[in-house]
Amino acid sequence: MKASIALTAAAALAAKASAACFSQRLGYPCCSGNEVVYTDNDGKWGVENGNWCGIADAPAQATCWSLSQGYPCCSSSNAEVWYTDASGKWGVENGDWCGIPTGSTGGSTGGGNVTPSNEQYTISGNPFKGVEFYINPYYVEEVDGAIAQMSDSSLIAKAEKMKTYSNAIWLDTIKNMQSWLESNLQGAQSQHQSSGKDILTVFVVYDLPGRDCHALASNGELLANDGDLARYKSEYIDVIEGHLKTYKSQPVVLIVEPDSLANLVTNLESTPACADSEKYYLEGHAYLIKKLGVLPHVAMYLDIGHAFWLGWDDNREKAGKVYAKVISSGSPGNVRGFTDNVSNYTPWEDPTLSRGPDTEWNPCPDEKRYLEAISKDFKSAGIKSVYFVSDSSRNGKKVDRKHPGEWCNQTGVGVGARPQASPVSGMDYLDAFYWIKPLGESDGTSDESAARFDGYCGHETAMKPAPEAGQWFQKHFEQGIKNANPPL
């Protein structure tokens, strides 16, 4: 999901207003005036009474049935239909659901928002098994935008196939969480009602105070202080908990805070920002595990970096102690397992590498060997549930990097194994290959003058020019689908 400029004002409770507007479903009121202060993919924002507010769409759309449900109208009655429920036909524009107008008379066709089911889904075993994967509508729209820039028919065909695969939805700011969590839970429930199949949605929980302490490109909105930890709990985790308790009839997987705990394993002494963040990483994880780990339809996976981060023997041993402590701190919440290679490029298997000087004596120079080793270490550390989801979104081809620690917008990228449950025979602890990082979304800007410029994004094998983290990177996407392995 695209990272956007954070709105730093505290989120107001959604209130009824005489004129419906997009911001109500995000937890912000509608503006009474129309002075535009800021514009993003959701719409036009103003400021009133010291708080952000949404500026209503033009009156010409006032009769569209979906406005009464807190969603905008689609721009055309000929918009592509993504799903249909009792309310009407739904499309996707500007990264959000919209109602497709039914004609000049407008008006509601009946019903309100998708009514949450009273049924309780309970995950037993591998949550990826025996379910249909939810398609991320925001990513579909991004790919449609990419296709509009292409002229090569074979490349367009590959891009069209990308729209048929599931990937994770990133809740990377409070505002994005408010915008994306409930609407996609509703989308999954509607898909279930239409198909009769259980629909799995994967979200990335990613907004810890002091986030990504060892990098600059993906720093978050919340700082490493007590006040922002309180916001993380009340405005972020508590809201996620509330929505998950409401929409409980379909399975949900949460990928928890990429890069955070791995930084506590290796970077506390070398990076002051990580030392400053340690308290908040630990308290944040304990809180979210207690809150979300008790929900029977939710499975959580904690991030463990990748093979060239924690692959060495001493790092894996230390990681076992850190992760065991974190999981214990979240009792009685449960953690299903761990996720590796998130937003990275390390191949699943690389027979050309072995423990030696080329790998800095790393005994785990690919993700398969890493998971084989760390699964044993974690069990030895007393962790009871040790299962893995491996991000295969960008590791189909060995990239051009000259050092395995290179992580930013690597050239030679290729999309990897398709999302699949239990993909490797003999590895019953590997729950799935899954696309966690959406191919085509940048790792970070190559603009050295930018506030969030990270030196890794300026290295030789980092593709340039590159936009800010989370923004669409057309050239990287096109290379990734050309180099797909297996081919698209």
pLDDT above 80 for 336: yes
pLDDT above 60 for 172: yes
- For residue 246, list its beta bridge partners: none
Give tens-digit pLDDT for 20-75: 467 766 767 787 777 776 667 677 877 777 677 778 754 333 346 777 677 788 87
pLDDT above 50 for 11: no
**What does residue 453 show for φ and ψ, rounded to 5 degrees?**
-70, 130
Share of the chain above pLDDT 70, in %: 87
The amino acid at 377: D
207 is catalytic: no
pLDDT above 80 for 449: yes
Round to whole Å and give the CA distance between 231 and 242. 15
Return the structure tokens found at 17. Answer: 């207003």
The amino acid at 220: G
- For residue 434, list its beta bridge partners: 391
Look-up: residue for tokens 């040790």? 386
pLDDT at 218 (0 to 100):
62
- How far apart, in Å, do the first and last CA atoms of the chain sit? 22
pLDDT at 9 (0 to 100):
22
- Least confident piece of the model among 99-108, 147-156, 208-217, 234-243: 99-108
Residue 362's alpha-carbon distances to 2, 162, 314, in angstroms, are 34, 34, 10
Alpha helices in 32-82 (DSSP H): none
pLDDT above 50 for 18: no
| Mean local confidence (pLDDT), 219-241 | 96
Give tens-digit pLDDT for 450-483: 988 999 999 999 999 999 999 999 999 999 999 9
Round to whole Å and give the CA distance between 484 and 164. 15
443 is catalytic: yes
pLDDT band with cut points at 50, 70 and 90 for residue 173: very high
pLDDT band with cut points at 50, 70 and 90 for residue 78: low
pLDDT at 322 (0 to 100):
98
Q: Which of 259, 340, 391, 454 is catalytic?
A: 259
Q: Which of 57, 207, 212, 454 is catalytic?
A: 212
Q: Which of 172, 228, 350, 443 is catalytic?
A: 443
